[in-house]
Amino acid sequence: MSVGLSLVLHLVGVVLWMGGLMAMSRALVLMAKRPGPGRPVLAELAGRLNILAVLGLLLSLGSGLYQLSLWPSGAFATTRWMHHKLTALIAVAVVHGLLYRLQRRWQGQGETVELARGQAAALHGIVGLLLIAILSLVFFTVPHFLHVPVM
């Protein structure tokens, strides 16, 4: 596989994963806000968005590991930004698990049961903040062709 193709697959995977999580958490917030006959549809939508997010996770993980395998020996040990990025990715995976668990629990609830939207709203915000953190780590700390040298 070429590096360019790997980068494209990685970015597509990230968009699917993060976009799926953002949409899934938003659907859960709507489930809590609007009891009634639409709630089962939102629960099903959240479950389908989880499938999209899992596919994105697998795509970004596979291409990211491939890119990491191209690094020179010992480079990972001296690259602090990558350690921070991986820590943020672990946090995203934990939030993904929490969203999935919340979706499964709420899916079994009735249409009129009161659901607290605080957890879903908080997880929605956390996904967004983690995405901003990861992008900042990659684009503000890594020297690449977009960085213009200061004269």
Mean pLDDT to the nearest integer, 25-33: 92
Separation between Cα atoms, residue 131 and residue 108, nearest integer Å? 30
**CA 46, CA 52: separation in Å to the nearest integer?**
10
Give the single-character DSSP code of 147.
P
pTM of the complete model: 0.86
Q: Number of C-alpha atoms within 13 angstroms, CB side, residue 143?
A: 4
Residues sharing a CB contact under 8 Å with residue 20, sequence separation 6 or more, in sequence order: 49, 50, 51, 52, 53, 54, 55, 56
Q: What is the mean pLDDT of residues 45-67?
A: 94
Interatomic CA distance for residues 59 and 68, integer angstroms: 14
Encoded tokens for 57: 């996770």
Q: What's the mean per-residue pLDDT of the chain?
A: 88
Report how far residue 98's alpha carbon sits from residue 29's, in angstroms, rounded to the nearest whole number: 14
pLDDT of residue 26: 94
Tokens of 150: 């200061």
Among 1-5, 42-46, 71-75, 129-133, top mean pLDDT goes to 129-133
* Across 130-134, average pLDDT: 94
- Is 140 a residue whose pLDDT tops 80? yes
